[in-house]
Amino acid sequence: MIASLHRGDPIAGRLPDKTTPGFTLIEVLLVVALIGLVSTLVIPLSIDALQRQKEKGRVLEMVTRISDLRKQAVSLLQVGELRADENDLVLRLDFHEVDRFTMDEPVKMEHPITFNRNGVSNGGEIRLRWSHPYTVVVEAGSGRISLNREG
């Protein structure tokens, strides 16, 4: 028993020497604190980026549907119309609803946007007030559709 006290037996209460592998309590606490600090900075940024991507995807889907409406109006020789209805963007051909695009927030338009049989438009803007506001612009005449992100 006396011999084991001199050899660094942890059961006997002797402290291990400097060559023993492992981390000290201070090192472990420092790493945990750094992980906590980094996560408090990174998590809100990644959540914001995910929200932005989701909104952008919804807006791009809406732009695609508007473009498809214009193409249908030209190919079918009908009048296409975009109209805001609370949280919905209603797409019509010859005054019959062909599509309804539901948004999370109200859709703002000054007036309905139309495409005639030649693809010519009266022009207008669709404003989306989300956490990252967007404006979809339909140019008068050409009917070209563009997307602007505000802020």
Q: CA-to-CA distance for 114 and 124, rounded, in angstroms?
A: 9
Given a cut of 90, is residue 29 above it in pLDDT? Answer: yes
Of the options 3.40.50.720, 3.30.470.20, 3.55.40.10, 3.40.50.300, the CATH number for the domain spanning 26-149: 3.55.40.10
Contact 73, 98 (CB under 8 A): no
pTM above 0.75, yes or no: no
- Dihedral, 75, 91, 108, 138 alpha carbons, nearest 10: 0
Position 1 confidence tier, pLDDT thresholds 50, 70, 90: very low
Position 9 confidence tier, pLDDT thresholds 50, 70, 90: low
